[in-house]
Amino acid sequence: MSATVLERLERLPRRNLTVLALRGISTLVPGGWQNQTSPDELISDVLGSDDPELVLQVRARADQLSRARHEGYRRALSLYDAVNRSQKAAGGLRVLANVAGALPLVKRLAVLTPASQTLQAVDLSLKVAAEMLAFTQVNGLPGDSFAAFTDSLNEYAGEARVRMAALVCFDALLPLGDNALHRLDGLLGQVSNRDLHQLPSYAGMASLLPGRGDAAHMGFLRRGVDHWLGWADGFVGDLGLNGQRAVRALETTIGPWHGGMEQLAMFLDAFTDTYSHTGVQAVARRLVERAAAEI
């Protein structure tokens, strides 16, 4: 038996590069961010009371819910894990290519890795797709109409503001430049089936995407990104996010950075798990909200 959602929450790091990066980016978002890793604190926060017996009951119910496969809470986490693994693989590959590019003997390796920008675009679209799949796993299809569902999506995105800010900054603005969101569709259009198969990120996620075959998967990714772009554009405009501000925000916590933005993005990809870290926290909160209502 693998760990329940709350156990995963408990095991999240309290202070490491991931937490520092998130803390840095949270200075751009009003409301800030708290690294919530204690299930008991989360439960008493949702319940508005720290009666130990109630907390214990909620926790038992939450564990029961997360053990039930059809409820989807753990499936959402496995989606985040798959994305995280692929992000690390892609990041590692690019770090390797960067290093190898500087060494005369292995220079040829650098040529083998796919073009950085398309790789990044697909990586971002995979994350957006995983976000939507995880949303339906965790929340079902709430509401009676499409409008209610969209409200619910926006509510979720608003709640996970820091998570979304991290996604936008680390995976779009830093590696692809400030007009990343407008270029994204074009970049995805350039991805051929052969490119797709070269990506470690795609291999890890292919079985989790709906539809059969690469064309169907690509269609799903592009539609998902399309939907998300509408929201993300407003979000970036509201908060005034751009690459420069993101770098400055990150420098407040992880120290001065002298390289380019693209290198920073690559470094973050290879050495942090911001996406699955905040993912576990988001799923845990929804799970506890349900458990508190059911005890």
Partner 1 sequence: MSRNLRWGIGLLLIAGLLLGAFLFLPFRSWLPGGTVADLPNREVVNGTNFNRLFPKPQPGEQIVFTQEKRGFSQARLKQGTDLRALLSISDVASAPASRNKFMHSEERLQSWPLVDQGSQASALLVADRFQVKVIGQGNGLDVQQRHELLSAFDLTALAALSPQAQAPAIAPGREKALAPGKASPLRLPFPGLGRKAPQVQPSQARVPQPAVLPAYPRLIRATAALEPAA
49 touches partner 1 (CB under 8 A): yes
Minimum distance, C-beta of residue 70 to partner 1, in the bound complex (Å): 5
Residues 241 and 165 sit within 8 Å (Cβ to Cβ): yes
Q: How far is the CB of 167 from partner 1 (least distance, A)?
A: 20
Torsion sign, CA atoms 102, 107, 112, 115: positive
* SS3 (DSSP) at 213: coil
Within residues 266-295, the interface with partner 1 by CB under 8 A covers 286, 289-290, 292-295
Closest CA to 275 of 1, 106, 135, 82: 82
Q: Out of 7, 41, 151, 251, which residue is the one contacting partner 1 (CB under 8 A)?
A: 151
Q: Which stretch binds partner 1 (CB under 8 A): 126-134, 141-149, 225-233, 239-247?
A: 141-149
Of 23, 61, 88, 163, which one interacts with partner 1 (CB under 8 A)? 61
Nearest to 177 by CA among 248, 261, 258: 261
Of the residues 99, 106, 148, 215, which one makes contact with partner 1 according to CB under 8 A: 148
Measured in residues, the chain has a length of: 295
Nearest by Cα to 181 from 247, 234, 249: 234
How many Å apart are CA 172 and CA 180, to the nearest integer? Answer: 6
The interface with partner 1 within residues 153-182 (CB under 8 A) comprises 155-156
Does 67 engage in binding with partner 1 (CB under 8 A)?
yes
Which range, of 99-107, 152-160, 179-187, 189-197, touches partner 1 by CB under 8 A? 152-160
Residue 70 interacting with partner 1 (CB under 8 A):
yes
CA distance 289 to 179: 37
Residue 77 interacts with partner 1 (CB under 8 A): yes or no: no
Residue among 94 and 290 whose Cβ is closer to partner 1: 290
Which helix (H) or strand (E) is 71 found in, with range?
none
Closest CA to 288 of 6, 2, 8: 6
Binding test (CB under 8 A) with partner 1, winner from 35, 116, 152, 198: 152
Nearest residue to 9 (alpha-carbon basis) of 42, 56, 49: 42
Q: Using CB under 8 A as the criterion, what x/- string covers residues 96-135 for binding partner 1? A: ----------------------------------------
Cα gap 76→281, rounded to integer Å: 12
Residues forming contacts to partner 1 in the complex (CB under 8 A) are 46-49, 51, 54, 61, 64-65, 67-71, 138-144, 148, 151-152, 155-156, 286, 289-290, 292-295
